[in-house]
Amino acid sequence: MSGQPEPTVTRCREIGDAALRALLEPLGMHIAVVDDGVEIPGSYWGETEAGLIGATLYVRGDTPVHSALHEACHWLCADEARRATMHTNAGGDDVEEHAVCYLECLLAGRLAGYTRAQCFADMDAWGYHFILGSAQAWFEGDADDAIAWLERRHPPGY
């Protein structure tokens, strides 16, 4: 998103890191909060996007909540071998990416101070692209591949 103003979305400072910890630490993740203005370790996209190194999710106060959930879900959806070596690029194929997005939306409804509706709106504002036109329409009507993937793999949190 370099060079353009970032869209208005819910930021981690709005829900607090305790909410992320309460949701994700029981699933095996560690949350590391980076000071404002400091580069986020393990961030694939840079800027304000969450970072992932091993089982540690890195966020700043200005990190979008949907980004934190998305990176966490990459880790949750990976097998143990991939989790152990994750650093910046979570990898995975297109169907796994769909599963990550679906799980992100599911977990949004369990995150204190955030809702699934906020997640849908934030994904749309950030520029996620879905054939049906919105994150909510995809989640409700076009996510069969993601659901099947999650049911086969049953990652923590699903």
Question: In this predicted model, what pLDDT tens digit does every residue of 33-55 receive, in sequence order?
Answer: 999 999 999 999 889 999 999 99
Determine the Cα–Cα distance for residues 151 and 88; give it in Å rounded to an integer.
26
**Nearest one of 110, 95, 111, 108 to 151, comparing CA atoms:** 95
Mean pLDDT of 53-70: 98
The model carries a pTM of 0.94
Handedness of CA 58, 55, 89, 144 (dihedral sign): negative
pLDDT exceeding 70 applies to what percent of the chain? 97
3-state helix, strand, coil in the chain (%, to 5): 50, 10, 40
Predicted pLDDT of residue 3: 61
Q: Is the pLDDT of residue 5 over 90?
A: no
Using the structure block, give the residue that is written with the tokens 């152990």. Answer: 84
- Residue 112 is given by DSSP the state T
Mean pLDDT of 61-68: 98
Whether 20 contacts 68, CB under 8 Å: yes
Predicted pLDDT of residue 37: 93
Question: Mean pLDDT, the chain, as a whole number?
Answer: 94
Mean pLDDT of 52-77: 97
Q: Where along the chain do its domains lie?
A: 12-150
Whether 103 contacts 158, CB under 8 Å: yes
Q: Is the pLDDT of residue 73 over 60?
A: yes
Q: Is the pLDDT of residue 142 over 70?
A: yes
* pLDDT tens readout for residues 75-92: 999 999 999 999 999 988
Mean pLDDT of 85-104: 94
